[in-house]
Amino acid sequence: MKEKNLEEKKQEEVSSFLKDNFFLILNCYNNKMRKLNVLVAGCTGYIGVQLIKLLIRHKYVNIKYLCGNSSVGKKISFYDKSLKSKILPIITKFNKKYLNEVDLIFTALPNGEAQEISNNLLLKNTLIDLAADFRLKKSSDYFNWYKTKHKSVKNIKKSIYALPEIKGNEIKKYNIIGCPGCYPTSILLPLIPLIKNNLIDTKNIIIDSKSGYSGAGRGVHKKYKNKNLYDSLSAYGVGFHRHNSEIEQELKKFTKDKINFIFTPHLTPMFRGILSTIYLDLKSNVTFHKIKSTLTKYHTKNFFVKILNSNTLISTNNVINTNYCFISICKTRYKNKIIILSSLDNLIKGGAGQAIQNMNIKFNFKSNEGLKI
């Protein structure tokens, strides 16, 4: 009887695998993976252009459509001259008919627009969103932070908040993949392992993050026209930046303790890069060595996360134009207090590169495929 039950269980597991990976299996023949037909919506922003520059390196991707609203008829090389020699589609306006011809849709659009596209997805489609449309798991939270109703509530439950180093192969199960924000990526990668292992006081976390101005999009130049953007440091969203919502949501998954943190972002007079400085209190009897060993062990198999030697002073220059996140744990004058430095490229690891990581997981490609920059 037990043998029969085991056999039935195996059959159910095989059936479930085939069901979850049906369209992935269709992509395989003669031990080769055919190229995925890809559509990029919102292709002309800083993140969209960066995404294209990475996708053209990916040997399993064919860029079928580039879509934009105000750029119809233009070549993508208008926005980045390094793409001039590449054979790429002319930019067109998105049409839901395109969904019949593509496997994967990347959306690097203003918040709200990927929700509408998600309502038209076909069974064979996967959507990877680089905005905030599928980061929050409650529509009420989305309304509270983004001040507009979610247009695809039914699809929130069908989506995953996909931080690749944390969610891993769970991402394979979903056809709607929400990529984390750039700041949260730099913050959650060091904090989640520490909170999961009950090593830090969760009631007193202070996060100071600084980003290149590309993180605010192309419109930043007009917005800061009279604020000397290129020669000054500007705090913004103090106390209430939207990224607070996803940071809190994700940290709460790993502890029953109350979480109190202060997050303050800044725009700096550089184009790209993020450096987050995180101030932490250790729980009693937790040593500096324990913190270091826990983070090192947790991220050992995470190719794009590097735990550096203790007290290493890092800068954004260490990581720009890469998909890496560098993390350094630093001592202070007080044994129960530490400082963590976490740095990444907001356009790559905090944006386009992370989206490609999620694609690689979903479609069983090598983790660094298309990301050998």
Catalytic residues: 182
Asked if residue 55 lies in contact with residue 104, where contact means CB atoms within 8 angstroms, the answer is: no
Q: How far apart are CA 216 and CA 223, in angstroms?
A: 10
Of 262, 289, 255, give the one whose Cα is nearest residue 276.
262
Q: How far apart are CA 140 and CA 146, in angstroms?
A: 10
Q: How far apart are CA 224 and CA 218, in angstroms?
A: 11
Dihedral, 58, 134, 240, 247 alpha carbons, nearest 10 = -70
Tokens of 174: 């979903």
Asked if residue 39 lies in contact with residue 104, where contact means CB atoms within 8 angstroms, the answer is: yes
Count other Cβ atoms within 10 Å, centred on residue 367: 16
Asked if residue 145 lies in contact with residue 160, where contact means CB atoms within 8 angstroms, the answer is: no
Q: Are strands 126-129 and 205-212 parallel, antiparallel or unpaired?
A: unpaired
DSSP for 14-60 reads: HHHHHHHTHHHHHTEETTEEPPEEEEEESTTSHHHHHHHHHHTT-TT
User: What amino acid is encoded at 357 in this protein?
Assistant: Q
Tokens of 186: 């730099």
Tokens of 313: 């002073």
Longest pairwise C-alpha distance within the chain: 77
**Buried b / exposed e along 282-294 (16+ C-beta atoms within 10 A):** bbeebebeebbeb
Q: Are strands 126-129 and 104-107 parallel, antiparallel or unpaired?
A: parallel
DSSP 95: -
